Amino acid sequence: MKHRLYIISGPSGVGKGTLVKLLLKEDESLALSVSCTTRKPREGEKDGVDYFFLTKEEFLKRVEEDGFLEYDEHFGNYYGTPKSFVREQMKEKSVILEIDVVGALNVRNRCGEEFSPVLILVIPPDEETLVKRLEGRASEDENALRERLARAKYELSLKDKYDYVVVNDDLGATVKRLHEIILAENAK
Ligand code: 5GP
């Protein structure tokens, strides 16, 4: 059985985080990729668990050394997927990477040859469900909600670029479907 890199993307509010947690619980032969960031740790966050926390200088040095599968800037901080960490993990396990659509396509374009990632897009059953889920997040004001919806529509418009598109209509069934995809791809 081969170890593969699985990239799971989907609009915010679609339930990716929960799905990935359940998937890792279900199958111990899967590992989660840990990203690097230049933002400061939040309370309770641990280095090497939630993120690898780097200084801006350390991060940019790694960029120069081609040390990231992909990286991006969000809210004034850098975030990236470390190649060496993913490589090490893949010696033992298949690796799950949860990043946005742009990041996922960057990995395929920049490092497709070495990592040959399987791209999986998780989508909501319909727009109404997505809006409800986004509204359920207490922190969202009207503008943030509109922005996230526009972003979600953009992400959904790229679905043809994905290897698999999975509708998250029922948490248990969706985890099962994701696991089936992983088992089938690992067996190829
Ligand atoms: P936070 O600071 O709230 O943990 O994350 C901020 C944003 O950075 C989120 O949208 C998250 O998905 C994104 N992010 C986290 N890790 C990575 C990464 O390795 N690569 C990219 N491109 N984005 C990331």
pLDDT in tens, the chain (188 residues): 679 999 999 988 888 999 999 999 999 999 999 999 999 999 999 999 999 999 999 999 999 999 999 999 988 999 999 999 999 999 999 999 999 899 999 999 999 889 999 999 999 998 888 888 877 765 667 887 888 888 888 988 999 999 999 999 999 999 999 999 999 999 98
Name the closest-CA residue to atom 20, ligand 1.
80
Which two tokens mark 146? 């509109």
In CATH, the architecture of 5-187 is 3-Layer(aba) Sandwich (3.40)
The residues facing 80 across adjacent strands are: 36, 71
Q: Is the CB of 35 under 6 A from ligand 1?
A: yes
| Closest atom of ligand 1 to CA, residue 12 | 10
With 0.85 as the threshold, say if the pTM is over it: yes
pLDDT value for 75 = 84
| Predicted local distance difference test score (pLDDT) of residue 35 | 95
Please, where are the H alpha helices in 101-170?
101-115, 127-135, 142-157
Q: 35, 46, 79, 102: which to mutate for ligand 1, most atoms within 8 A of CB? A: 79
3-state secondary structure of 41: coil
| Max intra-chain CA distance, the chain | 48
Residue 16 Cα to ligand 1 middle (Å): 13
Closest approach atom of ligand 1 to CA 51 = 16
| Closest atom, ligand 1, to C-alpha of 35 | 19
What is the pLDDT, as a whole number, of residue 8? 97
